[in-house]
Structure 1
Amino acid sequence: ASTDFNPRQAEKRTITAISGTTITLDEPLEYMHYGEITFGVDQRGEVAMLTRNIKIQASADAEESFFGGHIMAMPGSRMYVEGVELTRMGQNLTLARYPIHWHLVGDAQGQYVRNAAIHNTYNRCVTVHGTNYLKVENNVTYNTVGHCFFLEDGIEHSNEFISNVGIQTKCHTSKPCVPTNLAPAGSAQERGDGQSSPDALIPSDNTVSTFWVTNPDNTYRNNVAAGSDQIGFWMAFPEHPTGQFEGTEISANTWPRRTQIREFSGNVAHSNFDGLMLDRGPNAEGRFNAGGNPHMAFSDPANATGPLDSYITDFTAYKSRNGGIWARGEQHVFSNLKLADNAIGYTHAYPGIEPQGGAYTSKVVDSLFVGESDNIGNPTTPEEIAYGRSLPHPELPDYPIRGYEYYDFLHFVEDTTFVNYEDNDTRQAGALSYLLFTSFPTSADNSIEGVKFVNAKPAHFPPMEQKWGNDNFGSNGWRTAAIKDIDGSLGHGEGAYIVNDIGILSGVDACKSMPSWNAVVCQGDLGRLNAGASGGGFGGFGGFGGGAQAPAQPPVVISSNGVEFTAANETSIVSGAEVRVATERDELPISLSQLDNGSWVLFELPGFTSVDAGSEQSSMDALRSAVDTAWYKDGDTLWVKVVAQETAGGGGPFGAFGSATSVTVKR
């Protein structure tokens, strides 16, 4: 298997001699294949034996027509497969014509495919359709087309996929993928035309995966996705089972997106675009969006009550051209991750749609992130050769690598180590960062605790660069990036915040500038300031559904200690800050959110004369001493102290992030 970013570095050779622990091949290998455990991450390349004593294959002309054989267990039948080699199998772009296929068998207790070799096939590997209690174990696949280990409709449950290895999974027999992805400008962008391609059997095959998982109530243990054109493991949960079961009563009563993950442990993904994708489940017609759909487990899925944690354990991802892990949902716990040599280690998104209300979005615990290991890959391009190792984005050699990306809502990182995230002459790096350049805001309660940094810059918030952006470029949510250091792991004291430096906080006394991080470290309570944008709070970004742009208004310039910042929706603010807000607008709404009850910010508002809340004070000293929202008029300047207070109906995913209060000032 490939041990680099490019899955096509997998190589097939014939053993001509064996002497002790030495084997002789029929020809040399073209690529270096790594064989070490490096910085605690096992990157030893897999070697799969493709021959078996029993061989089933189509005639040689299938190599041109892509019309091979297929094996299909129908309802009422029983199938047991062991130690078999399948090649030239499957019929390209034809439904139900796969190398090996359980079709609507129902209860397949005791049935299995194990120790098989499936290679050079034209339409998937092992398909499980409307079949339960099946065991798929110790199989190897190589050079296959379409989703390989395939749970078809999302009705399938209680199946076991154990110790399977999939090598070189392709979108097509010979054409490049046309994927639907979020990715840096200059590589793939979010687009859906590949989902309509006549060259894909189902829309998602153009974003191919080695393991296509449509129902979480199955076991995936110790499997390896060793090189897919796109995704290693894709947890693509539909709302209800699709295909053959769409519209049936059993489908209506089955909720994959609300079902707890039975077991996902010990799996490995490398040499993929994305290692693990827990998102983008298909809609009823089979298409999917790059922005959804989410997973959150409940004890009662039908009524979405009784939230449950779902666990991903002992997962390894390395040499991912995009991300080791991308997930979306709530109450996901990732433990003992080992993520190395990925462009981005981990990103997790909030659902953004009902049902909502989980206690948190995601946790990463007891894990290891490695920016660059000793596996230098096979440098090919001039930029890679000059750099001395292969790059996740050779076309963007300065792409900043990052370990953990914070995204929207509430995420925790605990007892985790980050290694080798240091800047160099080619690119910058950071252990902690944000999704470039998200339209959705992050929570001020995102946190780290018990975190260690070894030869690693703790944080890097890259400045907006269009070449690194994706569909989010030009949005403003990323401006609110903040991380709370619960126990002082960063060395700046317990409760300090790492905050994206967009101008205003670098002038606040409670904050220390960290230029190499593009961040400030602040002490005290941190929340959000929204000056002049519609919506307030988290809604200041147009909500989850976006919406029409409001007419352009005069800018709002916020300054502190001589540092100016032009407001664009929300920005981070620390309690006790005194800021000047200047604008030509006749009316200006100001809101604070995610601050503790009683926290405050003092605003100097030249040219304004009145405010719709608070009590008038007789002096600046009296104003500063006020415990509730208050104001003082000094000549042509209005001073307003806004004090965060509890609001009615403050529960749920928004209110859980702290108190909020708003005022409106007028000329």
Structure 2
Amino acid sequence: MMMMMMSYLLYKVGWFLILNLSALFAACPDQDPNLHLWNPGHNKEHQVNIGHNRKLLLSSSATVHSIRIFDGGKLVISNNNEETIVLRTRSILIEDGGELHIGSEDCPFQKNVTIILYGRSDEETEGLHSYFGLKYIGVSRGGTLELHGAHKLSWTFLNSTLHPGGMSEGGYYFERSWGHRGIIVHVINRIGEVIHSDRFDTYKSKDESKRLAEYLDRVKDGMIISVAVNDEGSANLDDFAKNALSKLGSKYFRHLGFRHPWSFITVKGSPESSSEDHVIYQGARGSAAAKVFKLFHSPHGNHFTVGSTSEWVQVRPKVTVTIDMHVNSTILQLVDDARTWKPGDVIFVASTDYSMHQAEEFQLLHCPECRPNQVKIQGKAKYLHTGKEIDGVDMRAEVGLLSRNIVIMGEMEDHCYGDNACKFFEFDTVGGHIKMGVGFKAAHIEGVELKHMGQQSMGHYPIHFHMTGDLDEKGGYHPPTYVKGVSIHESFSRCVTIHGSNGLLVKDVIGYKILGHCFFTEDGPEERNTFDHCLGLLVKAGTLLPSDRDSKMCRSIKEGVYPGYIPKPRQDCNAVSTFWIANPNNNLINCSAAGSEETGFWFIFHHVPTGPSEGMYSPGYSEHVPLGKFTNNRAHSNYRAGMMIDNGVKTTEANVMDKRPFLSLVGARYSPHKGADPHKPREPAIIKNYIAYKNQDHGAWLRGGDVWLENCQFADNGIGLTLASGGTFPDDDGAKQEVKNSLFVGESENRGTQMAENLVWGPSGLDHSGRVLPKGVTFPIRGMQIYDGPINVENCTFRKFAALDGRHTSAIGFRFNNSWQTCPNNNVTRITFQDVPITSRVFFGEPGPWFHHLDLDGDKTTILHDVDGSVSQFPGAYVVKHDNWLLRHSDCIDVPDWRSAICSGHYAQVYIQARRPANLKMKMIKDEYSNKPLYLKGALGKHSHYQQYQPVVMLQKGYTVHWDGPAPQEVTLWLINFNQNDWIRVGLCYPQGSTFNIISDIHNRLSKRTFKTGSFLRTQQMDNLDRGHPSRGYYFFDEDTGLLFLKVKAHKKREAFAFCSSAGCERIKIKASIPKTSRISDCAMKAYPKYSEMPTVDVPMPQRIPTEQLTTNDHFLEVKLESYQTRFFHIRQDLAYVDINGRKFYHADDGMQIVVIDGQSGKVVDNRSFRNAILRGIPVHVENYVASMKNNSITLITSKGQIISERPWNKVLTQLGATNVKLKDKLVFVGFKGDFQPEWVKLVVGEEVAKLHEVLPIPVVNKLKL
């Protein structure tokens, strides 16, 4: 019985051991007992074949010619060697059941191994494979590649700002500006530690002066004391404080003046040790700094320097206190636990400025004193790297790990050689590469460092999945294929290329110093791939595709270019991107594009699949497929844009009709729909929690379709966000772009550092202090740029946008030099402004730098709908360009600072297409303002077979259209944004003797079908135009004036954001037979005043939001001034008044009335009348009155009766800002007494009437000059 029990126990134990050993062998591939030790030594001629189920364990360094693993063969790298295993080979080919293993998912490789791929491209066919090429690890059909390095944190963020030159280990850095006024004191012990600090606001209170003296008295002898002024500290200094500092050794503290910079360092009890600096404040236009640095020796023999700087940089104060321990090392504070990073590892810290080249590399040092989220680096930073949220935007620098214990690298020559793009690169670009081909069995790559990989030739990239189909469970891969925890640096072509492959997981992968697009999807059909927590930076141009190339490469490379054609860089090329996504149905989560020569994230469209993927989807599929997840991504330090959704690639070879090279950039439009079917409902592309900062041009440029942004942050971009649809028609009618619950910052406290790499350094708009700027010093920074439409901006905050005299910064702006349409359904609502002067909320542009002549059609038709009045204070109002009288009425209010007017009304667009000829300039006149025409050139090129003019119009009004040449023989009027029953009357100019064939139709742009709905008959009476119905309309041709009149009316219902009705676009088509002798068709001289109309206001102006209900201190003051004469038969009566926010000041006597307003508060401080007798006889009274006004006073002046214009009193108008004063009987004037002249100062004169209606910004603030 006992023997049976023993046998049973031994049986159980045996099975237990077998099962556990089997599990161990399965988890750790190098523990497999079937492996045979293999140490081939070093022989560059040795062509290794591992097949026929041979299983080898490499445990020492080796050099061979090549390795082929096939037919059940397996090569495993030993995980037991203390020394690094270095395997040098020209190539490793894995196919037909072959396997290469370094660690496993459950048993990561812990030692060190380096695979070096060597060879030259000019060694004839040595080692050249027909599919994989040279210097490769190739995984073909049936092959398995398992690379699993040690688990390490891939990348994280700085959690404390890293300043240039420090902060060194044990050092200290203190910096304050506004909000930290007074005397700043630091107490430091003899080993360089700050043991206490405090601030004493001796500007505000004498109590603070006494507290300062008591504080210094309590400091023990022998302690180091640093004292400095920030902002202002002299106003309430008393003798207590002055005596205390003098006792410590100060010579200048007793004599501190207003805003004097002053710094002082001493040792308590040793006044002779004091160091001190003091300078005089230079005013708002100058700078002054008091700097002190003092070297100390610690009791342990070390030395350290205490530095103190007190300064004014023009209008910005700053105090800085530093302690430098003179140790060539720095401790970084990180967000995450970095204990997996080891001494000797190499890391980088990304740029947090415009230049991506401010990224820096460091080696880690041993740091027993570091906390889990700290590391010690050798050396000090050259640049500032932000480690905190600034102005509400997360600008923390990425910190990434380059070192891994599995290294695969190309062996490189000292310089470029042969035919390897040496025209563009001085260094060797023929690196190694890893490529997975169709039918591979398994591939999992993690914990690997790839260095000097990729080649400047097609198909050879650090990691490349080539036409491998579905790589997840859908393709039969268990577990799904992945690339995780890989650092790719100094790559000569891309990072990870996904070509004709789907469902790949790319996670925690870094691309650093890369040529060409980094994370790259190639042909268009690549879908369901996920890029999770990937980081790319220092991405530079490469030669492979037109989109990879910079300007020099674009012009120089002739391959694929039609003979004689020279590619245009900014049109055909210049698009290198960190993430190049050729199909929207991919996921990008937690990724960062931290520096590219062009763009961070670019969604690009292949109308049809290209290359070997040709035919994989129907034309247009990629433009309609819904967007995958795009969440928690960030982009900074890019040139063109942080993110783009726009453009496609040319999918045909160069030919005589289109000479551009294959895959060069072309136009494309994105309109996501369910199932990628434009006939099915729209499915918005959702972009969540996106952060874009320090991108020189755009934070994001997104063209759609429904593209919606939620909870995004934009800061310090040239232009924060542009949402675009189409320049003529949106390609997805009914869609809109919108941004909600997002933050825009114009000029954050991340000011950058003045140095050679930052080429554009200039003054800040808010305080004139120096900062790095995105483009030119005069570039008009904008937060939200309105373009095309319809768009919706809702519940967004705009912070720190402030214009300068010479730089038109604005929170909301428009795309300038714009030929295209502007939709009247561009809506803004629930907008908050913080540190944005009301004058800088919106800007419509003016001729000058960057805006050029501002005379293109889109420049003239800009319009913005302020739904709730949060921008203009007038709920429901439209803000229009100030000189577009098609959109204005008599009650509109001018906003001079914005170059705009606030109006009310119902607005739509009419597209006027002209054929035969198609090169005319059009003049459009509103009948109510016949002397204020709008001139349009057309949106299309001069060589187009038709021209399209796209004015915005006020509905229920009459207009006439004229030409600068013979009238076009065909005109089509498109009713755009017309609701059912909306109408306008249009008179088009034709020569006498013209005859017409006019029909109405509906054109469905999606199905491209058109059906006729009615025809028009001629009538001899204008009134009959109102008697038409959908199938029968009337036209009236007045041959005396040459005007053909039509009533253009919408009969169909329209969706909220659609340009056209639900049935299609309603149109009226006019075909004219015109006498051949006709000349210029401009009927304006004959048309008016015959068809002039009295201006009427159909939609009353909304009530202004009362000042007390506003959430900001600055606001608009509405002023209306009128001086006019009424006539009733032979009786004439003169009237004049000033209206201020609805409060009227009537002018009783003939002469002049002056209402004075405090420019700071907006309150009326005085109202004075001067009769004509005074103006005629004692004009000095007026002069003395004006002289007695306080500076910063707004003056509202009206005249009544016949003004006395020849007398010297009128020079006060010049003193208050008027120019070219030429008076008439009636006068109204908005003036200003002060040291500058605001935009809104204006004089209007007339014989019988003079009027002004505008809003003035309160408080009145001077724009600083550049």
**Whole-Å separation in 2 of the counterparts to 1:326 and 1:194:** 29
**Whole-Å separation in 1 of the counterparts to 2:525 and 2:1037:** 66
For residue 498 of structure 2, give the secondary structure of its aligned residue in structure 1: strand
Is 2:624 the counterpart of 1:275?
no
Partner residue of 2:450?
86
Is 2:585 the counterpart of 1:222?
no
The 1:194–1:391 alpha-carbon spacing in structure 2 relative to 1, beyond 3 Å, is farther
For residue 605 of structure 2, give the secondary structure of its aligned residue in structure 1: coil
**Whole-Å separation in 2 of the counterparts to 1:550 and 1:232:** 40
- The one of 237, 242, 262 equivalent to 2:610 is 242
The 1:134–1:289 alpha-carbon spacing in structure 2 relative to 1, beyond 3 Å, is closer
Please say which of residues 655-664 and 120-129 is displaced more in the overlay. 655-664
Is 2:824 the counterpart of 1:444?
yes
The answer to whether the Cα contact below 8 Å between 1:508 and 1:577 also exists between their aligned partners in 2 is no
The 1:597–1:639 alpha-carbon spacing in structure 2 relative to 1, beyond 3 Å, is farther
CA shift, 1:304, in A, is 4.5
**Whole-Å separation in 2 of the counterparts to 1:581 and 1:336:** 45
For residue 897 of structure 2, give the secondary structure of its aligned residue in structure 1: helix
- TM-score normalised per structure 2: 0.45
CA shift, 1:493, in A, is 3.0
Partner residue of 2:721?
346
CA shift, 1:231, in A, is 0.6
- TM-score normalised per structure 1: 0.81
For residue 240 of structure 1, give the secondary structure of its aligned residue in structure 2: coil
- The one of 377, 391, 396 equivalent to 2:752 is 377
**Could you list the per-position Cα deviations for residues 50-74 of structure 1 after superposition, in whole angstroms to 9, with x for gaps in the alignment?**
1111212122427631111111122
The answer to whether the Cα contact below 8 Å between 1:487 and 1:493 also exists between their aligned partners in 2 is yes
Partner residue of 2:882?
501
For residue 516 of structure 1, give the secondary structure of its aligned residue in structure 2: helix
The 1:319–1:572 alpha-carbon spacing in structure 2 relative to 1, beyond 3 Å, is same
Partner residue of 1:170?
540
Partner residue of 1:462?
845
Is 2:1031 the counterpart of 1:646?
no
The answer to whether the Cα contact below 8 Å between 2:488 and 2:512 also exists between their aligned partners in 1 is yes
**Whole-Å separation in 2 of the counterparts to 1:631 and 1:555:** 21
For residue 389 of structure 1, give the secondary structure of its aligned residue in structure 2: strand
Is 2:858 the counterpart of 1:477?
yes
Partner residue of 1:431?
811
- The one of 802, 820, 835 equivalent to 1:422 is 802
The 1:555–1:82 alpha-carbon spacing in structure 2 relative to 1, beyond 3 Å, is closer
**Whole-Å separation in 1 of the counterparts to 2:556 and 2:581:** 20
Greater relative contact order (CA < 8 Å, ≥ 6 in sequence): 1
Alignment of 1:88-167 (within 5 A): 88-91=452-455, 93-109=456-472, 110-167=480-537
**Whole-Å separation in 2 of the counterparts to 1:584 and 1:100:** 61
Q: Which amino acid aligns with 2:386?
A: Y
CA shift, 1:253, in A, is 7.8
The answer to whether the Cα contact below 8 Å between 2:581 and 2:602 also exists between their aligned partners in 1 is yes
CA shift, 1:371, in A, is 1.3
- The one of 405, 410, 431 equivalent to 2:785 is 405
**Could you list the per-position Cα deviations for residues 243-299 of structure 1 after superposition, in whole angstroms to 9, with x for gaps in the alignment?**
1112x3x34488221111121111111111211111112221475676621111222
Q: Which amino acid aligns with 1:230?
A: E
**Could you list the per-position Cα deviations for residues 98-151 of structure 1 after superposition, in whole angstroms to 9, with x for gaps in the alignment?**
111122222322111111111111010111122222111011121111110111
The 1:55–1:603 alpha-carbon spacing in structure 2 relative to 1, beyond 3 Å, is closer
Partner residue of 1:20?
370
Alignment RMSD, CA only? 4.5
CA shift, 1:608, in A, is 11
The 1:77–1:617 alpha-carbon spacing in structure 2 relative to 1, beyond 3 Å, is closer
For residue 477 of structure 1, give the secondary structure of its aligned residue in structure 2: helix
Partner residue of 2:905?
524
The answer to whether the Cα contact below 8 Å between 1:384 and 1:391 also exists between their aligned partners in 2 is yes
Partner residue of 1:71?
434
**Whole-Å separation in 2 of the counterparts to 1:436 and 1:277:** 19
Q: Which amino acid aligns with 2:504?
A: L
Partner residue of 1:513?
894
For residue 856 of structure 2, give the secondary structure of its aligned residue in structure 1: coil
For residue 462 of structure 1, give the secondary structure of its aligned residue in structure 2: coil
The answer to whether the Cα contact below 8 Å between 1:154 and 1:238 also exists between their aligned partners in 2 is yes
Partner residue of 1:9?
358
Identity %: 28
Q: Which amino acid aligns with 2:471?
A: A
**Whole-Å separation in 2 of the counterparts to 1:315 and 1:497:** 30
The answer to whether the Cα contact below 8 Å between 1:210 and 1:228 also exists between their aligned partners in 2 is yes
Partner residue of 1:30?
382
The 1:378–1:288 alpha-carbon spacing in structure 2 relative to 1, beyond 3 Å, is farther
Unpaired runs of 5+ residues, structure 2, are 1-349, 416-426, 473-479, 562-566, 653-660, 765-769, 937-948, 997-1016, 1073-1081, 1087-1266
The answer to whether the Cα contact below 8 Å between 1:299 and 1:306 also exists between their aligned partners in 2 is yes
The 1:463–1:613 alpha-carbon spacing in structure 2 relative to 1, beyond 3 Å, is farther
**Whole-Å separation in 1 of the counterparts to 2:557 and 2:414:** 26
The answer to whether the Cα contact below 8 Å between 1:139 and 1:163 also exists between their aligned partners in 2 is yes
The 1:579–1:329 alpha-carbon spacing in structure 2 relative to 1, beyond 3 Å, is closer
The 1:197–1:398 alpha-carbon spacing in structure 2 relative to 1, beyond 3 Å, is farther
**Could you list the per-position Cα deviations for residues 432-451 of structure 1 after superposition, in whole angstroms to 9, with x for gaps in the alignment?**
22222222111111211222
Is 2:389 the counterpart of 1:389?
no
For residue 385 of structure 2, give the secondary structure of its aligned residue in structure 1: coil
CA shift, 1:333, in A, is 1.5
Unpaired runs of 5+ residues, structure 1, are 181-187, 529-536
Matched residues, number = 633
**Could you list the per-position Cα deviations for residues 523-581 of structure 1 after superposition, in whole angstroms to 9, with x for gaps in the alignment?**
121234xxxxxxxx2345x7xxxx99745579666686697344224544435778898
Partner residue of 2:16?
none
**Whole-Å separation in 1 of the counterparts to 2:935 and 2:754:** 43
The 1:440–1:554 alpha-carbon spacing in structure 2 relative to 1, beyond 3 Å, is closer
**Could you list the per-position Cα deviations for residues 463-510 of structure 1 after superposition, in whole angstroms to 9, with x for gaps in the alignment?**
2446456xx986312322111122222243332111123342696313
- Structure number, greater radius of gyration: 2
The answer to whether the Cα contact below 8 Å between 1:363 and 1:413 also exists between their aligned partners in 2 is yes
Q: Which amino acid aligns with 1:646?
A: A
Q: Which amino acid aligns with 1:87?
A: K
**Whole-Å separation in 2 of the counterparts to 1:590 and 1:114:** 58
**Could you list the per-position Cα deviations for residues 600-633 of structure 1 after superposition, in whole angstroms to 9, with x for gaps in the alignment?**
7789999999999888579xxx999x99999999
**Could you list the per-position Cα deviations for residues 276-329 of structure 1 after superposition, in whole angstroms to 9, with x for gaps in the alignment?**
111112221475676621111222436753332221211111111111111222
Please say which of residues 490-499 and 143-152 is displaced more in the overlay. 490-499
Partner residue of 1:43?
395
The answer to whether the Cα contact below 8 Å between 1:313 and 1:337 also exists between their aligned partners in 2 is yes
Please say which of residues 493-502 and 279-288 is displaced more in the overlay. 279-288
CA shift, 1:32, in A, is 1.3
CA shift, 1:339, in A, is 1.2
**Could you list the per-position Cα deviations for residues 189-218 of structure 1 after superposition, in whole angstroms to 9, with x for gaps in the alignment?**
9x9748868999x99874200011111222
The answer to whether the Cα contact below 8 Å between 1:34 and 1:43 also exists between their aligned partners in 2 is yes
**Whole-Å separation in 1 of the counterparts to 2:848 and 2:559:** 31
CA shift, 1:341, in A, is 1.0
The 1:499–1:53 alpha-carbon spacing in structure 2 relative to 1, beyond 3 Å, is same
Partner residue of 2:651?
284
CA shift, 1:2, in A, is 1.1
Q: Which amino acid aligns with 2:508?
A: N
